[in-house]
Amino acid sequence: MRRARVVVSHRAPDRPPIQVLRGDAVLLGERDVDWPEFVWTTVPGGLGGWVPASLFDRDGGAAVALEDYDARELDAEADEVVTLHRELAGWWWAENALGVQGWIPGRALEMLDDG
């Protein structure tokens, strides 16, 4: 597994993270301005969050998830070292020293090894 140092502190948004399961029907809205690979996704029950558009069967409107996705983000402080598990759309699924996991933007990280 790769490791990285956090170079810019990251805070998760102040809203509950959504989860999408393969086969879930969702409603896709606008693309994110800073992260255009992400689309605002509303799940049944009305909660919404940013999810990579590549995980759906179409670009907008009513869509079906092609794979599972958890939108949880990882709070991290500058100089913290995290373990990286998976990269998707410029973000890394990371784990801190306490075993807490979530997404963190790649631009907030400095790779420490080639893994």
Given this model, what pLDDT does residue 110 score?
A: 97
Q: Which two tokens stand for residue 91?
A: 């973000």
Amino acid 69: pLDDT: 97
SS3 content of the chain, % helix, strand, coil (to 5): 5, 50, 45
pTM: predicted TM-score of the whole model, two decimal places: 0.92
pLDDT at position 114 is: 63
Specify the pLDDT at position 115. 53
pLDDT for position 89: 96
Long-range contacts of 38-44 (CB under 8 A, 24+ apart): 38/89, 43/18, 43/19
3-state SS record for 73-88: ECCECCCCEEEEEEEE
CATH of domain 2-12+73-111: 2.30.30.40
Q: 14: which 2 tokens? A: 């102040």
- Strand, helix or coil at 106? helix
**pLDDT tens, per residue, the chain with 115 residues:** 899 999 999 999 999 999 999 999 999 999 999 999 999 999 999 999 999 999 999 999 999 999 999 999 999 999 999 999 999 999 999 999 999 999 999 999 999 976 5
Q: What residues does each domain of the chain span?
A: 2-12+73-111, 19-70
